[in-house]
Amino acid sequence: MPALEASRLARDNAAWYRLLDLAGVCDTLVADADGVYHPALFGDRLLLGLMGIMAESELHVLRARLEGGIKNKAARGELRRGLPVGLIWGEADGEIRFHPDEAVTGVLAAVFEQFAVSGSVRATWLWLRAQGLRWPLQQAVYLHGKPGEITWVEPAYHAVHTTLTHPAYAGAYVYGRTRDEHCLGPDGALRTRRRKLPRDQWEVLIPDHHPGFTDWDTYLANQARIGANIRPQASRPGTGAVREGSALLQGLATCGTCGRKLAIFYRGPAKTVPNYYCQGPADLVDGRGARHMNVGGQAIDTAVAAAFLAALQPAALQACLQATEQIEHGHDAALGQHRRQVEQARYNATRAERRYRAVDPDNRLVARGLETEWNTALQQVADAEAELARRQTARPKALTPAGRAAILALGDDLGQVWDAPTTTDKDRKQLLRTLLEEVNITARRDDPDPHARLILRWKGGAISELTVPLRRPQPKIRTDEDTTALIRRLAVHYPDAIIAGILNRQHRTTARGMPFTASRVASLRTHWHIPRHQPSGDPPAEGELLNVAQAARELKIAPSTLLRWLNDGFIAGGQVTPGAPWRIRLTGQLRGMLADTAPDGWVPLGYATQALGVSRQTVLQKVKRGELRAVLTRTGRRKGLRIEVPTPQDGLF
């Protein structure tokens, strides 16, 4: 293998030694300007190895010098790298300028101005879409400030977020914001991933390096604001951006006992009544979380809002005028950008016209394409002009003296603005955050007059205290234990509807004094984990307790007849509780008391009373005591009780 320098046959030592092993096995010579070497011989192999080590050392020195030069140039802010859209490199070393296109810089400036108003990347992005503004895209340009071609597209959230978080727009030169890390993938292959570094680990950071759309302090404040605009995280109350809920102190309220941020939950029929609570260290008591503070939020929110409006009253008039001017300025910024888009569309149409007129008319293949491009540009001009006219028509008119007087009169009553239907809960919370830093809440329910002690920490260091009365703790509403125990016994035998009837016949009521229904019995049974009644589909066994209907069906008699015999005492029965259905034990003795026909000579109850000359009750008592034999007939015209009347014996006289 001839080469000018043998060590240049491989990129590094690993590849070099694999090449030497292969050449030694294959008995291949390696030759360069200094000599011929045989990798299988020890001396030549040693010399070739030293040549590979020296070559890799030389490459390392060259690479270190190149990287050092790059870092030194970056430390001076002169290393030319890709710039975001809206910034280009100038002629001088390290010079960065604004893009010469006013449409590009105009939309970027509008983004930073709108974020200062809304405080949210998403709200800024939605504002761009609502105003119908386009977003510029540009390829990275490195050479001498020559701007690249701008492509206008629909604004995307990622593009707006990148613009608001890129330090170059704040006039800072940065280098080394990311770091490449090497790792092994699941398949064992070497992979490279790029990781973003925190600001304190950037290799180069030069604030005020070039003009920007905002200053460095504002950029840092914006990053802190964006970092806080996240979704509320689990087990971390108070985190996240302002949400749409009615709790005004979301993210501001803290616990007066442990200092943690208070979490929020909503209750009420519509789940709109705010409540603040603190779980403390989140310890478990009897398997459940214990909250050492839980307080209603309506009275507290009202008190804090009143204090906020009172603090804002001296500057209310000026705030109203500034709000009106801010709205007008926002519309003016959008109109200015639309005018630039119209101007850009007209330029594109003029350029398309020049290209169309410069082509040879006989070359129809090219002329047709340029004609289509010209028509498209003219249509874009018409659309841009129509949108500009619509925006100008919809723009609010400048304040007249009468309108200014109306706004000043409205500033005298900020409560009316605060309670207006057009003011959302999200707007109120954003207003509170402009002045309030923290609201510390301590609930004192054990005092003779229960109240909540509030400490309001305002931005700037001022502190004020408020006392909000709390409702006295209400007694717990609970069903008496006797009723619960009775339901537990009845649920073994009866469904919920029958249990409700039994309880109502005993004049029992719910904990709120209402009569029982099947649903209320089911709710109480579910609360106390009482299993419901499960009817059995098997035929009744001997000696099993049955209700009247089941027993009558088994004995083949009418339920009314069975009830009459129960009342007369011929058949034994029982009740689980007064008012419950009768339950009869089905035995062989009971079946033997029933017959289809009565024996000869057995008479009804009426004849037995006449024959014996005693009352009806006396006859029944003798039957119960067994002094008289009787059977119950269930068929025939005269079914019922039949009694054997003993034959009278002749006496001695």
Q: At what angle do helices 496-505 and 481-490 cross, to 10 degrees?
A: 140
Longest dimension (CA), the chain: 168
Q: What are phi and psi of 469, to 5 degrees?
A: -65, 145
User: Within 13 Å, how many C-alpha atoms sit on residue 27's CB side?
Assistant: 0
Task: Note the pLDDT of residue 652.
Answer: 42
Q: Determine whether domain 545-644 maps to CATH 1.10.1660.
A: yes
pLDDT averaged over 10-residue windows placed end to end, the chain, 653 residues: 72 79 84 82 83 83 89 90 88 86 89 87 89 83 62 91 93 91 84 88 92 92 84 55 80 85 85 84 57 85 87 60 57 75 86 83 79 86 83 64 56 70 83 84 85 86 87 76 90 90 91 91 91 76 73 79 74 80 77 72 80 82 77 69 71 44
> Cα dihedral sign for 411, 417, 418, 419?
positive
Query: Helix, strand or coil for residue 487?
Result: helix
Continuous segment of H or E residues that includes residue 87: strand 87-89
Q: Is 269 exposed, middle or buried (0-12, 13-18, 19+ CB in 10 A)?
A: exposed
Q: Which of 499, 502, 521 is nearest to 510 (CA)?
A: 521
Strand partners, 451: 444, 469
Q: Quick one: DSSP state of residue 593?
A: T
- Three-class SS state of 431: helix
Which alpha helices (DSSP H) does 556-594 contain, by range? 559-568, 588-592
Strand partners, 512: none
| 464: three-class secondary structure by DSSP | strand
User: In Å, how far are 5, 435, 448 from 44, measured between CA atoms?
Assistant: 15, 81, 100
Per-state percent for the chain, helix, strand, coil, to nearest 5: 45, 15, 40
Task: Find residue 36's DSSP bridge partners.
Answer: 31
Q: How far is CA 92 from CA 88, 97, 102, in A?
A: 12, 11, 22
The pLDDT score that the predictor gives to residue 651 is: 47
Cα→Cα distances 470→51, 473, 502, Å:
87, 9, 42
> Quick one: which H or E segment has residue 284?
strand 284-285
Q: Which two tokens stand for residue 245?
A: 């809920």
DSSP string, 211-262: --SS-HHHHHHHHHHHHH-SPPBTTBTT-SS--SSS-TTTTTEEETTT-PBP
Q: Where are the domains of the chain?
A: 6-75, 481-527, 545-644
Q: Which helix (H) or strand (E) holds 179?
A: strand 178-184
What pTM value is reported for the model? 0.54
